[in-house]
């Protein structure tokens, strides 16, 4: 009889481990799939707010009243690796840099 109870306890532990692994696996799959935003509708982590502003731009960086600005600065650039992915004119201690919706497949951050 004691062997039967030990068997039941062992099965309960195995069932709990299996259930935990199942829940963790499903949660990981759901979270991972929510990160894809292929339709640019603004959902997930890749679409930005409202899916972009047209012209292939997802996000923009706007800076005003830049402290320590210089009259010698003419252009602001966003560089990833060795590639310039966005640039904007720097005027009156301010700029708006429009970032692209996608980057080339060979670009590494």
Tell me whether residue 100 is exposed, middle or buried, using C-beta atoms within 10 angstroms of its C-beta: 0 to 12, 13 to 18, 19 or more: middle
pTM equals 0.41
Residue 103 reports pLDDT greater than 80:
no
Compute the 3-state secondary structure of the chain and give helix, strand, coil in percent, each to the nearest 5.
Answer: 35, 25, 40
- How confident is the model over 29-86, as pLDDT tens digits? 877 776 655 555 544 444 334 333 444 446 888 888 887 767 788 888 888 878 888 8
pLDDT band at 107 (very low <50, low <70, confident <90, very high): low
């Amino acid at each position: 009889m004691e062997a039967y109870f030990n068997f039941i306890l062992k099965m309960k532990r195995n069932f709990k481990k299996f259930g935990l692994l199942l829940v963790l696996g499903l949660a990981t799959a759901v979270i991972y799939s929510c990160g894809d935003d292929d339709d640019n509708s603004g959902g997930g982590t890749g679409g930005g707010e409202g899916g972009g502003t047209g012209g292939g731009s997802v996000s923009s960086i706007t800076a005003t009243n830049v402290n320590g600005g210089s009259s010698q600065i003419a252009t602001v650039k966003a560089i990833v690796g060795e590639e310039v992915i966005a640039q904007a004119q720097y005027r009156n201690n301010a700029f708006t840099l429009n970032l692209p919706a996608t980057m080339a497949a060979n670009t590494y951050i």
